[in-house]
Structure 1
Amino acid sequence: MKIPPFGLTTREIREELAPLRNDFSVAVCRAKNPFNIGAIIRVAHSFLVREIFLIGTEPYYERASMGMQKYETIVECPDEASFLEAARGRPLIGVERDHARRTLWEAPFPRGLVFLFGSEDDGLPQALLDACEDVIAIPMYGINHSYPVAIAAGMTLCEWARRRDPRGGVSRAGG
């Protein structure tokens, strides 16, 4: 099912969404698979994040974001140092299985946080791990070592929303 056109410009849609934005952000180290970055942008839009930090210079696949990049504030950071400067003063929560201090289910989510996701192959660079206030892991039950990064982002943002949903988790569709 396609959504009919809103009859608004991109700028007008962004202005309408601005007061609805949530007080948290997503940062992702650009990876070898540009599809994943586009998918994370699409997922982040679904949760109306404050902004999306893209760390590194690799391109991302815009088609995977399904046009949602037009409605998001995307902050391009060419390297880890520029990201840390851009996010200065905000709690960084790394999502990384190998260096986790606790699970997604038990981690506190302070206001203004930035969820930080690493690349599929290398995870989070040490400089970013060192800057994290906390590092969390999503529980796994199979023998696989990790979740795809776009899936991990979706699960993490869903847990954030579950805790913060002012409707008590009730679907707008009434389900």
Structure 2
Amino acid sequence: MKNYTNTYPLSVALFEPRIPQNTGNIARTCAAFNLPLHLIKPLGFSIEDKFLKRAGLDYWPYMNITVHQNFELFNQSLSSSNRLIGFSKSAESTLDKLKFTLGDILLFGREDLGLPDTTRCMCHKIMSIPMPGGVDPNTNLGVRSLNLASAVAIAAYEGCLNLDLL
């Protein structure tokens, strides 16, 4: 099986994305940072969805997108030099503390459910993005999570900066 990930310093993967506009925006962000994007089925939309295409604007020729039939096949495409870095709002480690390495793959879960435990346990690390306006543990008030496209953009920028890719 061809290994799609070991030739890139950083990649983004979406586990079963549900919202085409988010995925289109993420694909556009990946094109801007020259990062490949892996979409792991089942998807909540068609690859031909008009909202997906509209969010990506006219940048589709610059996008490097691979669609995987399921997480197991995606995981089989990884090499030993790839670390799977999962993202979750409930991680104990934060993105600002992560030392990126070449070959890292930033894995983001579904907009509605995040990453399931069976997928999280396959990750080398689980990270969150620090949010000063996040939920206050005393009052339970505040922002619970970022939009998926925003979270990917923040993590991709941080990874590119950390690896001197900018």
- How big is each residue's C-alpha offset from its partner over 1:156-175, in whole Å with a ceiling of 9 and x where there is no partner? 111112223367xxxxxxxx
SS in 1 for 2:96: coil
In the other structure, the counterpart of 1:92 is: 84
User: For the Cα contact (< 8 Å) 1:30–1:37, is it kept in 2?
Assistant: no
Question: For the residues of structure 2 that align with 1:144 and 1:107, how far apart are their CA atoms?
Answer: 23
Count of aligned pairs: 145
Is 1:67 the equivalent of 2:58?
yes
**Structure holding more helix per residue:** 1
Unaligned runs of 5+ in 2: 1-6, 134-141
The percentage of aligned residue pairs carrying the same residue is 29
Question: For the residues of structure 2 that align with 1:80 and 1:42, how far apart are their CA atoms?
Answer: 23
SS in 1 for 2:17: coil
In the other structure, the counterpart of 2:27 is: 41
**TM-score when normalising by structure 1:** 0.76
SS in 1 for 2:114: coil
SS in 2 for 1:131: coil
User: For the Cα contact (< 8 Å) 2:13–2:105, is it kept in 1?
Assistant: yes
Question: For residues 48-63 of structure 1, what are the structure 2 equivalents within 5 Å?
Answer: 48-49=34-35, 51-58=36-43, 59-60=46-47, 61-63=52-54
In the alignment, residue 72 of structure 2 is paired with which amino acid? A
User: For the Cα contact (< 8 Å) 2:102–2:163, is it kept in 1?
Assistant: no
In the alignment, residue 28 of structure 2 is paired with which amino acid? R
**TM-score when normalising by structure 2:** 0.79
In the other structure, the counterpart of 1:23 is: 9
Which protein is bigger by CA-based radius of gyration? 1
Larger RCO (alpha carbons 8 Å, 6+ apart): 2
